[in-house]
């Protein structure tokens, strides 16, 4: 029987670029066991901060997987190491037939400079917020120069992933009423780069014009402000992908020049600490509900003896006397 390697050994092997070690570490953080999360985070900490994290988002069918694959191909040709993390916040399954696998099963399967993983959050409260930053750290420590984070679906998940990315690409396609949709979803504000994919189809020029018009409308004055470029791509034929990658690199350089990257990373670290602390408090209240008299407090609220705010204050005071 082979021995199960511990976290420090897995981290060493992941840093050496070993695919299996990277996969195991990501599975560990995805499982979400508190002790494992702590151990992985502690071991990875000193080895992160290098990767350029690029969020890729847009409506289903717009070409995210196809684009990700074409971008990976180009980055590999340039000699860069790449990670792809496909996140499905709604699916209870993981490691299976998700988006990332469509990329994984293709041309990059045998390339040891490409790390591809799908993750689902299994309905954990704040699951995406927990596991995704850790998985990004694993890929970062494994030496990825660029990590693409791809989301399935719409809405909240996009916003969460954006909060994790240094640079966010929003994909649109002609003829889907995307311009209007995008504006509605607040996508215009989150995009650092736009790609109008399926530019081989009718209406691409119109979509580009619409977007540029909307962007010009919202433009603010500052001389050194970033103005999101609109790139036309035909991902299925790898057209426009070099322009797209150049736009991603330009945005990274802009982030570095003005100190914006450091600011974004600090804000992310703050949000992460806050999320972890909130989760710990929630768990603690759950664990100690008997000891701190949560049920009695509830009875008193129902009896009108105390209001819920007063009860919460009392709960906090009682928790305060107990170590984590
Ligand atoms: P996702 O759901 O956003 O990941 O979209 P996919 O990458 O799976 O692409 C959805 C469909 O659009 C697939 O059938 C692709 O082959 C097709 N597709 C992707 N890019 C292009 C493109 O540039 N032009 C055209 N005509 N089809 C494309």
113 and 242, same domain (yes or no): yes
187 and 109, same domain (yes or no): yes
Domain assignment present for residue 124? The answer is yes
Domain of residue 309 covers: 270-318
Q: Where are the beta strands (DSSP E) in 38-145?
A: 52-57, 82-88, 114-120
| CB of 132 closer than 6 angstroms to any ligand 1 atom | no
Long-range contact pairs involving 182-189 (C-beta distance under 8 Å, separation at least 24): 182/211, 183/214, 185/154, 185/155, 185/158, 186/159, 187/57, 187/158, 188/214, 188/215, 188/218
Q: How far is CA 83 from the centre of its chain?
A: 12
| CB of 66 closer than 6 angstroms to any ligand 1 atom | yes
29 CA → ligand 1 middle, Å: 31
274 and 169, same domain (yes or no): no
Long-range contact pairs involving 252-256 (C-beta distance under 8 Å, separation at least 24): 252/52, 252/166, 252/167, 254/226, 255/166, 255/167
Domain boundary among 237, 258, 279: 258
**Separation CA 262–CA 73 (nearest Å):** 28
Ligand 1: atom nearest CA of 102 is 8
58 and 199, same domain (yes or no): yes
Cβ-based neighbour number of residue 171 at 10 Å = 29
**Separation CA 30–CA 111 (nearest Å):** 24
191 and 87, same domain (yes or no): yes
Between CA 103 and CA 101, with CA 264 as vertex, the angle to 5 degrees is 10
185 and 275, same domain (yes or no): no
214 and 281, same domain (yes or no): no
Low-confidence ranges of the chain (pLDDT < 70): 1-2, 88-106, 120-130, 152-162, 176-187, 218-221, 321-324
Domain assignment present for residue 17? The answer is no
Q: In this structure, which residue's CA is closest to atom 24 in ligand 1?
A: 198
Per-residue pLDDT, 152: 64
199 and 284, same domain (yes or no): no
Per-residue pLDDT, 221: 64
Torsional sign, CA 266, 282, 94, 56: negative
Domain boundary among 258, 279, 309: 258
Domain assignment present for residue 154? The answer is yes
232 and 283, same domain (yes or no): no
177 and 283, same domain (yes or no): no
165 CA → ligand 1 middle, Å: 23
Per-residue pLDDT, 81: 96
Domain assignment present for residue 122? The answer is yes
Q: How far is CA 96 from the centre of its chain?
A: 19
DSSP alpha helix (H) spans, 142-185: 156-164, 178-184
Contact present, 32 and 124 (Cβ < 8 Å): yes
Domain boundary among 215, 237, 258: 258
Contact present, 251 and 276 (Cβ < 8 Å): no
How many domains are there within the chain?
2
186 and 211, same domain (yes or no): yes
Q: In this structure, which residue's CA is closest to atom 7 in ligand 1?
A: 63
Domain assignment present for residue 191? The answer is yes
Among 174, 236, 241, 243, the mutation site with the greatest number of ligand 1 atoms within 8 A of its Cβ is 236
18 CA → ligand 1 middle, Å: 31
Per-residue pLDDT, 94: 44
246 and 294, same domain (yes or no): no
Q: What CATH code is carried by the domain that includes residue 209?
A: 3.40.50.300
| CB of 172 closer than 6 angstroms to any ligand 1 atom | no
Domain assignment present for residue 94? The answer is yes
Per-residue pLDDT, 176: 65
Per-residue pLDDT, 37: 85
Domain assignment present for residue 31? The answer is no
Domain assignment present for residue 289? The answer is yes
Extract the tokens encoding 141.
Answer: 């420590």
| CB of 197 closer than 6 angstroms to any ligand 1 atom | yes
Contact present, 142 and 43 (Cβ < 8 Å): no
């Amino acid at each position: 029987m082979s021995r199960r390697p511990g976290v420090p050994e897995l981290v060493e092997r992941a840093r050496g670029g070993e695919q299996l070690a990277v996969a195991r570490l990501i599975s560990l953080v995805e499982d979400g066991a508190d002790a494992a999360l702590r151990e992985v985070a502690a071991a990875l900490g000193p080895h992160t901060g290098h990767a350029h994290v690029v969020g890729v988002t847009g409506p289903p069918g717009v070409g995210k997987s196809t684009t990700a694959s074409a971008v990976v191909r180009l980055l590999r040709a340039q000699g860069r190491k790449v990670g792809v993390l496909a996140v499905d916040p709604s699916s209870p399954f993981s490691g299976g037939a998700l988006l990332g696998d469509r990329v994984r099963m293709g041309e990059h399967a045998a390339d040891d400079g490409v790390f591809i993983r799908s993750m689902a959050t299994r309905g954990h409260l704040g699951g995406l917020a927990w596991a995704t930053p850790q998985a990004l750290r694993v890929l970062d420590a494994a030496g990825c120069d660029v990590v693409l984070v791809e989301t399935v679906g719409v809405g909240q998940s996009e916003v969460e992933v954006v909060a994790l990315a240094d640079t966010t690409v929003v994909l649109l396609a002609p003829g889907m009423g995307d311009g209007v949709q995008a504006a509605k979803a607040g996508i215009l504000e989150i995009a650092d780069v736009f790609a109008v994919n399926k530019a081989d189809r009718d209406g691409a020029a119109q979509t580009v014009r619409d977007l540029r018009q909307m962007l010009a409308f919202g433009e603010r004055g500052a001389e050194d402000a970033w103005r999101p470029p609109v790139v036309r791509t035909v991902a299925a034929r790898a057209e426009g992908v070099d322009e797209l990658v150049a736009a991603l690199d330009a945005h990274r350089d802009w982030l570095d020049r003005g100190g914006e990257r450091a600011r974004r990373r600090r804000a992310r670290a703050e949000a992460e600490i806050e999320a972890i602390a909130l989760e710990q408090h929630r768990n603690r209240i759950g664990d100690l509900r008997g000891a701190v008299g949560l049920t009695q407090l509830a009875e008193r609220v129902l009896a009108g003896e105390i209001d819920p705010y007063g009860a919460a204050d009392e709960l906090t005071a009682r928790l305060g006397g107990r170590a984590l």
